[in-house]
Structure 1
């Protein structure tokens, strides 16, 4: 029986590839989280202003802006220049990361705790 459209994969032949409907560059979605999370990925530098974290596909790092106004993804000492329009779009849609803890109200002042130390007598027996 003959199949229409697909050629069988034989020796030295690559199987047919499937292409996605999206055209153009890479399919990396950009997610920006403003806040202090950038500290996990980079050290503070005088020439950079850190804005938060950025995730592009499986890559994640610190989002920074240099003195010239370029957006960068920083991982350690590695700096990758980013597309400014994509980053600005992601920044407009970004929501600050919610804190994972609940701040408690300060406890009402209570009486100080009294600690009593009782001296104990120890008997040392000389060796015989």
Structure 2
């Protein structure tokens, strides 16, 4: 199991499995978020790009709306991580706790989907999320 998972993070796997898809994601992202813009918020755009690459390459999520939803929840969580731990409605900490619950729920449903795909043999062997 360990060797199989380590393969997905090796240089060979990067060339065979990820370089094409990352190239496509990069071109699509630049076209959508950079081209034709007068002003670009580089920090925010790079954060969005990084999250999108992780979602598409490591978890094989292709749905734009799902990626956007996960990104929003993740950003709420990150803002709440370094806040005062007061668990009252309206505080960053409270929102972060709710966001992480929603993230876990969404990722659990993704794991169930991948398991069903493995059982029905419709999952691609290059999907790392299916092997974890």
Short-chain TM bin: under 0.3
Larger Rg: 1
Which is bigger in relative contact order (C-alpha 8 A, separation at least 6)? Answer: 2
